[in-house]
Amino acid sequence: MLDVGAILQNRYLIIRKIGQGGMGAVYEAKDQRLGVIVALKETIVTGDSLQKAFEREARLLAKLRHPALPVVSDYFFETDVQYLVMQYIDGKDLGQLLLEKGVFSLVEVLAWAERLLDALDYLHNQQPPIIHRDIKPNNLKLTDRGEIILLDFGLAKGSTTVLQNTNNSVSVYGYTPHYAPIEQVEGTGTDARSDLYALAATLYHLLTGIKPADAMPRVLSVVNGQKDPLLPAHEVNPRIPISISNLLASTLSQKRDERPANALAMKVALQKAIKATNDPNVLTLLNPTLKLNAVQTSEHQPLGTEQLDSNSKLATQIKTDLAINQVVITNPQPLAQETQLATQASATVVKVKGKNSKLPFVLAIGSVIVLACVLLVGLFFWPSSTGQPISVVALDAFTASKEQNKPTLLSAKEVLSKGLDEPRYYEFIAEAGEIKLTLNVVSNGATVEITVFDEGLKPLSFRDNTSLSLAGVNYNNEQIENTLLNPKKQKILLKLSNNYPNNLRAYRLKLAGVIELASTKKDTSNNTILETLATEFKSRDNPTPLTNNEIINPGHEKDLYYSFMADPGEIKLSLNVISNGATVFVELFDSDSKSVKYTSGTTKLSLSATSYQNEKSNVTILNTSSQPFLMRISQVYPNNLRAYRLSLKGPIKLSKDAKKTSFASLLAEFKDRDSPTVLANSEILNR
């Protein structure tokens, strides 16, 4: 480790340490000969062969010239330490900005993607090809002019590899979990497609605010017959166009052959995906960068001069939404399509003015009226993408205090969050009596724990424990309820914590009781992150009333929830599955959100099939009282599920809002097993 003020090679004055890892560090230094600030990358090496390898690498890097890559200007050894001198890029990296400001706008990220793909195309076409092997948000910085730069701090932060020649390529950097493909994690060799995977993982994180699932757990999930924990980007953030989400999904494939063949191929695919959005704002703003033919501006002033200003405000709002502590959550609306209508109307006005500036004033007024009508129609009649609107006042735990002695005042009875690295604290005043807490968790192994303290900082006990904790599996929406008795009116301290934040997609805490909330200014602006978190709980909160004792469905990605009332007695469930490896799960929950046990002792009816055969399984429950039930149907590998049928028999009260639905095509799948041929002979001959 170098001390501040140290001078290397009688030239480089160490100013400060930028990053530290197991194999060295990166320093900000001053080149006293040229009078400029540089980045000095230190790597500990031993052995002549490794030193020679680094020397070859340094000479190769020094020849690189690309606007998205820092320039390597010098290279030297001191004892067993190798140093690279590179262009210094000031400012915060995208990983830091992501934590501070939240997700970036689609326009920004797609513009960066094109530039980075151009840089990767340049690297991969060197002789020999250069594989970066550590693309991630923390290795990306913005210059003062807003240009993206791909940095190389991976080794200095303790990567698992030093320098390898794989597939006749020079591997320049190490790797970081969540961004590295499985072939890199297993050490089976990397190529250009490995960098494309890392870039797609980085874009996914920048657009959703959530790190993509690590490659190894993804493989293990598949091996164990579970769903791939990697969610499509548009499900995490509904504002991401499906075409962009699909491109990210294909590039994040575990199989290299299913990814784009090279950076140029991915760049072409990106252009097609952008065109498929049909969003004039995106097309217009990216026109100078991607040179898309979809935007024609020859007849008038370039469309987007005004749109750029408004969209920049929108981008700023999106990125700063995480700083809003209290919001009113509403269902995400298809804003891009509404904006498209408004932009097209504005474009019509621009074109008309460009062709004849002396047209009657009434025409301009008419255009304004048309635009207003479009906006009003969109406001009152635009269909909701998810049905009923969510109108819950909630807090974002991300912005709550991390200090126990300086808690944030609770101003709403609902708190939403994704996985956080540190606990958060809230404070409120509660009257004497019961306080009910309901916790929902959507995770894959992560646990959320809620601890409540009295004014003397002693834990208040729940009915059966000192804290409320809940873990999730396969990103199902799990729920638990519990109450505690507050003996007197006093200040209450609430602690929210979790482990494995990268495996925690969302959690929600609801409080019920006589609680005094802090008065804060209500901010009704939409919050992208909170809207996304809220949608994770919508299906369970609003289950479909059971209108028939038979449910027939093809494979579906999302879990389905049904509600029904049942009188005391035996309830029998029969499940048929026709699949090729897919598994269907059926679970029941009582009015206290507790899992209901079947007579077999299990809480989950699961059934899979192979070769699309019709498999069947039966279970029963003994219901001892009249009560409501919640039923969840989930599955893995829905694409391999042709159909399933669930039949319920017993004292079940069906909803009277029955809707006639035709399942004729799916019913045919079960006909042969339902109506078997009567055996008329002890011998069966077939050809």
Kindly list the domain boundaries of the chain, sorted by start residue. 1-88, 96-298, 305-381, 392-535, 543-674
Tell me the C-alpha distance between 130 and 127, whole Å. Answer: 8
Hey, which CATH number is domain 543-674, 3.90.650.10, 3.90.1300.10, 2.60.120.380, 3.90.950.10? 2.60.120.380
Burial profile 295-309: b = 16 or more Cβ within 10 angstroms, e = fewer = beeeeeeebbeebbe
pLDDT at position 21: 63
pLDDT tier, 287 (very low <50, low <70, confident <90, very high otherwise): low
Of 43-57, 136-150, 269-283, minimum mean pLDDT range: 43-57
pLDDT at position 556: 84
Of 301-305, 380-384, 425-429, 639-643, minimum mean pLDDT range: 301-305
Active-site position among 134, 191, 195, 396: 134
Of 197-201, 218-222, 505-509, minimum mean pLDDT range: 218-222
Span 79-94, pLDDT tens digits: 778 899 999 988 788 9
Q: Which CATH class is domain 96-298?
A: mainly alpha
pLDDT at position 175: 66
pLDDT at position 154: 35
Which helix (H) or strand (E) segment holds residue 97: the answer is helix 94-101
Span 593-642, pLDDT tens digits: 888 999 888 888 988 888 888 999 999 999 988 899 999 999 887 888 89
pLDDT at position 8: 94
Mean predicted confidence (pLDDT) in 436-448: 89
Return the beta strands (E) in 397-534 as ranges.
408-409, 414-417, 424-430, 433-443, 447-453, 468-471, 477-486, 490-498, 504-512, 515-516
For domain 392-535, say whether CATH 3.10.20.740 is its number: no
Assigned token pair, 157? 């932060």
Span 217-229, pLDDT tens digits: 898 888 888 888 9
Say if CB 343 and CB 544 are below 8 A apart.
no
Hey, which CATH number is domain 1-88, 2.30.30.280, 3.40.50.2300, 3.40.50.300, 3.30.200.20? 3.30.200.20
For the residues of 272-321, what is the DSSP string, one character each?
Answer: HHHHHH--HHHHHHHHHHH--TT---TTSSPTTHHHHHHHHHHHHHHHHG
At 167 the three-state DSSP class reads coil
Active site residue 191: no
**Domain pair 1-88 / 96-298, same fold:** no
Higher pLDDT, 118 or 280: 118
pLDDT at position 107: 85
